[in-house]
Every structure is written in structure tokens, then in C-alpha cells.
Amino acid sequence: MSDRLKSIEELRGLRDRLRLDRDPEVPTIIIPAGTCGQASGANDLIRIAKRELLAGKLTDQIHLCITGCHGFCETEPCVVIEPHGTYYPKVGIREMERIIRAIRQGKVCEELLYVDPDSGERIEKKKDIPFFRTQVRTLLSRGEKIDPIRIYHYIENDGYSALAAVLAKRDPGWVLEEVEASGLRGRGGAGFPTGLKWEMLSRQPDGRGKILVCNADEGDPGAYMDRSLLEGNPHSIIEGMIIGAFATGAEEGIVYVRDEYPLAIKHLIIALRQARDLGLLGENILGSGFSFSLDLMRGAGAFVCGEETALIQSIEGRMGEPRQRPPYPVQRGIDGKPTAINNVETWANIPVIFQAGAGSFKQTGTPGNSGTKIFSLVGKVRNTGLVEVPMGMSLGEVVYNIGGGSPGKARIKAVQTGGPSGGCIPSGKFDLPIDYDSLARAGTIMGSGGMIVMDEQTCMVDVAKYFMNFLKDESCGKCFTCRKGTQRMYEILEDISSGKGRPEQLHLLKELAEVVKDTSMCGLGQTAPNPVLSTLQYFSDEYLTHIEKKRCPAGVCKNLITYFINTKCVGCQLCAKNCPAEAISGTKKEQHLIDSGKCTKCGACKTVCKSDAVEVR
Amino acid sequence: MVRLEINGLPVTAEKGETILEAARFLGFPIPTLCHLDGLTPYGACRLCVVEIGEGTKAKLVASCTYPAEEGLVVRTGSSRVVHARKMVIELLLASCPQSKQVQDLASAYGVRWQRFRQEHEECILCGRCIRACKEQMMAGAIGFHGRGEKRALGTPFDKKSDVCRLCGACMYVCPACELRCTYQEPEKAICGGCANLEAPCLEKESFDDRMCFLDPCMACEIRKEVRKE
């Protein structure tokens, strides 16, 4: 349908023509409809908005734009009105109609605005909301006003202009220098300097067929930054990869997406087709003489395939099992060809570097850690969502200023960073700056950017057990120490959390964890002991209480707790009615009793009790 | 030729050799389990780990798969290496005490007990049988299935194999069913006795028809006794 763009001038001409058509003053209803938005009901809001705009013949006066996730997941489904920047959180179906009416009258629905829980004030603009205020949303903001499956939106908003600038200079060496000067480090977790990796790839002799890969496997439970980027702005990754191909001499590229991301896959397929149709992928891109083809490949449900050598095996059609390095993928990768693998977020940073310039990119962050990082802030914190902050911001700032602190009365105890391979940082160390080296020194890793907040009601032994359970199932099983070690560590943690722990097992756990870390071949095994080692280091008192006193201080480990009704009970019988095990007895207005033999410790009684009479001991 | 340093001695190795090959050629002892001359190295058992590098950058790598590189500094018996090896052996005893190779390793490294829950697994998933079948017998009838706890080995979809010629190479190279220790003391890890009554072969029903090198394999003998009853 669209003509191929044959030159940089044609691309710029298209962009200028698209901009002429748009009047920036026209109000636009933006409805974020990423996976979480859709799950919260954004599709109903879209349906109603379309209906109202068509019925009222308003489509010229009010525009509608469906975008990817805006990051404040706690408030989804939300609606944003540009150009004012009005933010409506948790919009219901009835409220959508009122919002449209208000826009027609040029007004704002005061009663639907966000309320700051600390001050009680209503805040109109998104940028003033505490969650957003201190973030630096360089990457995420690029997707917040565009429809991800309309390439024209992307181009109109300066999309592919970085590529144009790179191709106009006709100097791959300059591109490599800029990436190196920017100080960009791999956002997949290891933090390897991207410029160095690309330089190593470009030095490989041509003619062997170099390949670029985008690692979109994102296996960490609780991490969804890459999903958000792929759903909301797939073209930014495509643009990054084309620039990378130009710089390193790669001719083909693969985006390896985990199969569990259907919306990201759908948007990528559409975006790739659009880019090919416009001539931004394929032969002789924009008349520069350089060619690059990009394809999609779906994962098959293995966490270990996020590891780069296992990913290569998977692409080759084999079982996802890591390989010994050296030789490194840049020397011998897919089918023996030199391959450079980068994370989604790393690719998304490339157009930013070439639009703003490497020097400007380096201004954000700290020395040795330039740019921003997206974190998925989840757990026992008020404002859950995707947070993009400059490297070097302290953990405390993220958890308290942006995250809003604890949602209830329980005190925040720790933050786990880096997914199942990461360690826990106790709240006493929340002044730690978030950068690769500081986190590594503290016994954890940056990882892909998961940040799980834990409070006094989280049992750290249970946390270690939970992650070890995940890792023992996801280990590929090749290395004897990783496979058996994760199983045995889980066994010991199970013993401890069920009250069968013995004091000598603590020492054994630490010894085993250290050997697994030392002898495993790939990153999975090398980092699997981190949750255990860091909780042993910072929360050893909890372990000792489980072992010596057979008690779980946080009230989580089922074998060590009993549910008990105290004298605050008014006898309303709500708990008895809600107990799935029929374990509560008692007459009206009398203190009820829980039969601990029947009690399954599900916690339903505690949730429904209005008198705060259920205790966990 | 590649120049490197092993245990403080400057040595040379052929280009393309692994650290294990270079070290063994020069007489440095390194224990292995999943390694077998004539098969491509796999790196599963982690017994052959050696320490490379210096200072904070020192790390352990499997010598059977790590290439001998120019300028590498290798230590085959540092305390970190020995400690790791002992833990590996302890884990092996905890899983497969009935294998004589494991028993021999335990006595060579002075591992007298294991502190985990005792298991008696038939297979340590070293992959020797798979590699022997594919590379030496050119059949490729068996392979790995699954991941993590569920990792096992067998024929595709556990169906009867068209390419298996019943040569018995898999049993011949298996460290777990090779020579069972015959001392009867079932409660302890060392000399745990033969707790395996099932031979880990392809078709357990027609085991009697198998061309078997192991004579006598305790599993076979014990099964005959059980069958008589």
C-alpha cells in the first residue's frame, strides 16, 4: 500500500507532511492498552470512546490514540488527555462518557482526578503526580503518545530520524565510537559495554555472515519492562537494530521473543511488516546501499533460554542448554557465525543516543553507568508499576518517593533486585545507589530490573525457598552442581520452613551455595545461590528463629504458624461462614474458635474479620 | 603452540587443546566422570574444575571444555578447587552411592560422609551413553529429555528405537551401572550396597536378550533371584 522510501530525504519529507496534517492543539484521548491495561478493562473504555466520538460526530474535534503501557499499573485502566496532560486513574465505563463530555466543554472532571494519598490533594497533570515526578522516562515516554502499530505515528514523532542521521554520515566507525562514548552497558543484567561488544563483532572478518539478536525472552518472574517496550514501541527496537547492523556489518537479525507475550509478538509482526513495506528493512535501506533483514522467533517456555548461549542453541533448533564460553558468541554464535546478542532495553537506547548525542546521553546517570534503567516496582509498595530512573538514584528514593512506601501498616523490610538471580537488600541499606557495581558489591545484581518490595509480613526464608523452587525447575540440568545443588538447597529450605531444620544445615546451605556459584557453567547456576546467600547474610536471625525456636516471625511458613481468634472477636460469624475448611466454631456474639487441626492457614478469616481479631502466631 | 602456566610451571600446549588435555599430557592429575577419551567433552559433572586467572578475577572453569589459551594461569589443586571437588563428590554420594567410580572418587578425596538426604538414583545424567551412542556407535538412539528436576535420558518420546542396535555401548561407558559396589550396608552412603534392582537399560522387559558386557552385573543377578520367586 505504501511506497518504499528510497532515500533519507524521502523519509524526512514524509515526516514533514505528516506533521503538517496534525494540529497539536486538538485534544487527544490516550488510552494505554498494553497487556495490563487490557486486563484491567481498557478495551471497554476504547469501545465506549469510539462509540461516543462517532455518535457525536466528534472525530475531527477530539482524537483517540491507543498506546502501550504508561507504567503506573496501580491506576490502570487510565486515560490521559493531551495536550494538557490530564491524568484520569482507574476509569470506569460510566466515567468514560463523563470525561468525553468534559473535553467537549473544555473542562476537567475534577472528581475523577488522582488523589495524592499523603496530602489528600487532587492532581490534574500526569507530570505532577509523585509517581511520575522524579522519573526520567527517556525510553518509556517515547511510546506514550503513539500507536505502536502505526509506523506513521512513530515517524511523525521523530521515529527513524536517528537511523537517517546515522546513514547520512556513511561511517560505521563513527557509529561504533559514539556507542562506546555513550557508555551504554547491556541492560540484560550483566552490564557488558555495548560499544565493546559491537566493536568485537565488527572486527570479525566479513563474509562469515554476522547476525544480530534481540533477546526478548524476559524470563524473570515479575519483570515486564521489555514487554512494555515491545508492546508500546516496537519500532524503537527495530530502529536500534538497523543502526547496529550498519555499524557492525551484520546482514540479518532475529528478535527472539518469549512465547508468553502474545501482544508483543503481534505488535512486532505488524511493525516488522510495516518497516519492510516502507523500505526501512531489506535491500538498500533508504538508498544507502546497506541491507539488513529482521525476523521474529518465538521461545518455547524456558527461563534458561534467556542466557545467550542457550538462546543460540534454541535458535538453532536444539534444547536450550548453555555452551562453554570461550568461544564467545561474537566469535562463534548461531551456526558458527559471529553473533551479537543484546537485550530489548539496550536496543531501545540506541536511537536515543543518536538523537540526543553520546555526550548528552552520558549526562544522565553516574560515571561508568550512563543513561536510565527501567525497573518493575512490585510487591508491598503503594505505587506498583514501571519506573524509569537515571542510574545512581538511591533505592530509597525509588521505593519511598516514587513507590509511595508501604501500602499498609507493615514496615518495609527489604527489596529484592534482579529477579530470581538477585539478592535482597535490607531497608537499612536503602541509600545504596542503583548501579551495576554498587549492587554487585552489596551481594545482588541489577539483572533485568525487577524490584520486589518486601515488608515485615514477608518471610525471607520463604522468599529464598520460592526462588530456589523456580530455579531448580528452570535449570537446564547439564551441570551436576547446578541441577543437584538447586534441588538440595530447596530441600534444606523446605526443611527449615517446615520446622525440621537443624543448625548444621545452615552451614551446609552456605557451603553448598558457594560451590554452586563457583562451579556452574552459566549465569543461571552462578547466580542461583544469590537469594540464599544474601538472605543468609542480612536476615540470618530469621533463619535461626525457624530452626531454633521453630517459629516464623513473619507469620508465613504454614507449618510454623497457627491462626488464633483473640478477645476482640464480637461473634459476627463472618469468619466461620468464609472458612473453606469449616474449621471455625462459635455462636453469635461469642468469641469464636479455630480448630487448628482443620485449619489450612489460607488466611480468609483474617481478611474478612472487621474487628482485627484474627492473629497469626 | 600455546604458552600458559599450570600450577606455577610455564608449559606449552597444542593449539585447540583443552586445559584437561594439556594438563593430563603433562602429568597433572585431574579427576573426571563425564569425560571419556574418544568422546567430545561435555562438561556436566564439574569434577574437572580448575582455577584460572588471578586475584579477584580468579574463577573456576571445567577444564575439559575450556580451551588452553595463550597466557592463561591455571591451578589444578588450589584449596578453592579441592573444596569444590569435595562438595561435588559429596553430592554424588548423596545421589548415586552404589557406583564404584563414585566410591573410588570419594576415597581418593577423603570424603567420608554426605550430609544430604540419601537418594539412590540410577543415572547421574553425565551424558556418556548419549555421546557414545552418537559419536562412536553412530546410532544416536538416546538423548536428554526435559529440564531441571525432570531431566532424564531415553529414546525420543520414550518409544522403542529404530536405530538402536542393542550394542550395549551405553551400558559399557556408564559410570553408574559399570561396576556396582557389592558390599551390603544399605543405610550409609559409603558402601551403600546395591540398592538398584532395575538396570537402567532401554527395554527392561527383554533384558535377558541383551548383549551385555557386564558379567555379572548385580542388577541382572538380583533380578533373576526376584524373578524366580
| Cα of B42 to nearest chain A Cα, Å | 9
Three-class DSSP category at A40: helix
In this prediction, residue A448 carries a pLDDT of 87
C-alpha closest to that of A374 among A527, A161, A264, A232:
A232
Q: Long-range contact list for A120-128, CB < 8 A, 24+ apart?
A: A123/A87, A124/A84, A124/A85, A124/A86, A124/A87, A125/A84, A125/A85, A125/A86, A125/A87, A126/A70, A126/A80, A126/A85, A126/A86, A126/A87, A127/A85
**pLDDT tier at B190, thresholds 50, 70, 90:** very low
pLDDT given at position B122: 79
List, in order, residues 6 or more apart from B52 with CB less than 8 Å away: B19, B58, B59, B60, B61, B66, B72, B73, B74, B75
The answer to whether the CB atoms of A478 and B66 lie below 8 A apart is no
Q: What is the mean pLDDT of residues A181-197?
A: 94
Q: Selecting from 1.10.8.10, 1.10.150.120, 3.40.50.1820, 3.10.20.740, what CATH number does the domain B2-77 have?
A: 3.10.20.740
Q: Which of A206, A208, A181 is nearest to A195 (CA)?
A: A181
* Confidence (pLDDT) at A1: 43
CB contact under 8 A, B144 and A487: no
Can you give the pLDDT at residue B224? 59
Q: What is the mean pLDDT of chain B?
A: 81
- The average pLDDT across A551-570 equals 87
Residue A44 has a pLDDT of 94
Could you please report the per-residue DSSP string of A46-98? HHHHHHHHHHTT-TTTSEEEEES--S-GGG-S-EEEETTTEEE-S--HHHHHH
CA distance B138 to B98: 30
Put residue A411 in one of left, alpha, beta given phi > 0 → left and psi -120 to 50 → alpha.
beta
Instruction: Say which residues have a Cβ less than 8 Å from residue A525's Cβ, sequence separation at least 6.
Output: A475, A479, A481, A482, A485, A486, A516, A517, A519
Inter-chain CB proximity B117 and A491 less than 8 Å: yes
For A372, residues 6+ apart whose C-beta sits below 8 A from its C-beta are A136, A137, A138, A139, A364, A365, A388, A389, A390, A391
Partner residue opposite B147 with nearest CB, options A474, A515, A518? A474
Secondary structure element (H or E) that encloses residue A296, with its range: strand A293-298
Q: What is the mean pLDDT of residues A6-10?
A: 92
Q: What is the mean pLDDT of residues A429-451?
A: 90
pLDDT at site A21:
83
DSSP B108: H
Residue with cell string 511510546: A143
Residues of A in contact with B60 (CB under 8 A): 518-519
The predicted complex's ipTM stands at 0.86
Determine the Cα–Cα distance for residues A597 and B166; give it in Å rounded to an integer: 56
Chain A residues whose beta carbon lies within 8 Å of the beta carbon of residue B42: 478
What's the rounded Cα separation, in Å, for the pair A302 and A473? 10
- The confidence score (pLDDT) of residue A582 equals 87
User: What confidence score (pLDDT) does residue A600 get?
Assistant: 87
Domains of chain A: 25-82+86-124 (3.40.30.10), 151-361 (3.40.50.11540), 366-455 (3.10.20.600), 460-548 (1.20.1440.230), 562-616 (3.30.70.20)
Record: contact A508-B124, CB cut-off 8 A: no
Q: Do A512 and B87 touch (CB under 8 A)?
A: yes
Question: B43 and A324 in contact by Cβ < 8 A?
Answer: yes
Q: Is the pLDDT of residue A603 over 90?
A: no
b vs e for B87-103, b when ≥16 Cβ sit within 10 Å of the residue's Cβ?
bbbbbbbbbbbbbebbb
DSSP summary character for residue A420: G
Q: What is the pLDDT of residue A259?
A: 94
Mean predicted confidence (pLDDT) in B159-181 = 76
Using a CB-CB distance cutoff of 8 angstroms, which residues of chain B are in contact with residue A519? 46, 49, 60, 62, 84, 88
Please give the grid coordinates belonging to residue A204. 570479525
Which of B61, B83, B124 lies at the smallest CB-CB distance from A480? B124
> What 3 state SS string does A236-268 have?
HHHHHHHHHHHHHCCCEEEEEECCCCHHHHHHH
The answer to whether the bond into A531 is cis (omega within 30° of 0) is no
A128 or A21, greater pLDDT:
A128
What would the grid cell of residue B94 be?
Answer: 548423596
With cut-offs at 50, 70 and 90, classify the pLDDT of residue A273: very high
- Sheet containing strand A86-88, strands side by side: A63-67, A28-32, A79-82, A86-88
Are A284 and A291 in contact by the 8 Å Cβ rule? The answer is: yes
CB contact under 8 A, A512 and B146: no
**With contact defined as beta carbons under 8 Å apart, do B50 and B75 qualify?**
yes
Reported confidence tier of residue B219, pLDDT bands at 50, 70, 90: low
Distance set, CA A516 to CA A284, A512, B87, B91 (Å):
49, 6, 9, 11
Residue B121 corresponds to which cell in the numbers above? 538414583
**pLDDT band at residue B227 using 50, 70 and 90 as cut-offs:** low
| Sign of the torsion formed by the C-alpha atoms of A94, A98, A104 and A110 | negative
Chain B closest CA to A519's CA: distance in Å? Answer: 6
pLDDT computed for residue B188 by the predictor: 40
**In this complex, do B88 and A487 lie within 8 Å of one another by their Cβ atoms?**
no
Nearest Cα residue to B33 out of B107, B95, B88, B113: B88
pLDDT value of residue A270: 97
CB contacts of A508 in chain B (<8 Å) are 115-116
Q: Where in chain B are the domains?
A: 2-77
Q: Is the separation of the CB atoms in B163 and B140 below 8 Å? A: yes
Q: Rounded to an integer, what distance in angstroms lies between the CA atom of residue A404 and that of residue A75?
A: 13
Contact B44 A478 (CB under 8 A): yes
Confidence check: pLDDT of A17 > 50 = yes
Which comes out higher in pLDDT, residue B209 or A243?
A243
Query: What is the C-alpha separation between A546 and A555, in angstroms, rounded?
Result: 11
**A564 beta partners:** A615
Mean pLDDT along residues A385-392? 94
Distances (CA, A) of A305 to A140, A298, A325, A420: 26, 11, 16, 15
How many angstroms separate the first and last alpha carbons of chain B? 64
Convert the pLDDT of each residue in A86-117 to its tens digit.
999 999 988 998 999 999 888 899 999 999 98
Share of residues in chain A with pLDDT > 70 (%) = 100
Q: How confident is the model at residue B218 (pLDDT cuts 50, 70, 90)?
A: low
Cell numbers found for residue A3: 511506497
Average pLDDT over residues A518-540: 94
Q: Would you state the pLDDT for residue A25?
A: 87
Cα→Cα distances A269→A160, A276, A313, Å:
18, 11, 23
Nearest CB partner across the interface for B148, out of A475, A481, A520? A475
Q: Specify the pLDDT at position B63.
A: 96
B147 interaction partners in chain A (CB closer than 8 Å):
302, 304, 320, 473-477
State residue A54's pLDDT score.
93
Phi, psi at A129, each rounded to 5°: -70, 130
Q: What is the pLDDT of residues A318-357, one digit of tens each?
A: 999 999 988 999 999 999 999 999 999 999 999 999 999 9
Between residues A448 and A235, the one the model is more confident about:
A235
Backbone angles phi, psi at A369, to 5 degrees: -140, 75
DSSP-based three-state secondary structure for A532: helix
Work out the mean pLDDT of chain A and round it to a whole number: 92
Cross-chain Cβ contact B44/A488 below 8 Å: no
SS3 A134: coil
What's the grid cell of residue A442?
552489596
Distances from the Cα of A292 to the Cα of A190, A250, A334, angstroms: 27, 7, 17
DSSP A489-527: HHHHHHHHHTT---HHHHHHHHHHHHHHHHH-SSHHHHH
The predicted structure's pLDDT at residue B214: 52
| Nearest Cβ partner for B62 among A324, A326, A515 | A324
Report the helix count and the strand count for chain A, using DSSP H and E: 25, 21
pTM for the model stands at 0.89
Confidence of residue B80 (pLDDT cuts 50, 70, 90): very high
Distance from CA of A110 to the nearest CA of B (A): 55
Listed residue (A193, A533, A489) closest to A342, CA to CA = A193
Apex B65 CA angle, B61 and B70, nearest 5: 80
A-chain residues within 8 Å CB-CB of B69?
Answer: 326
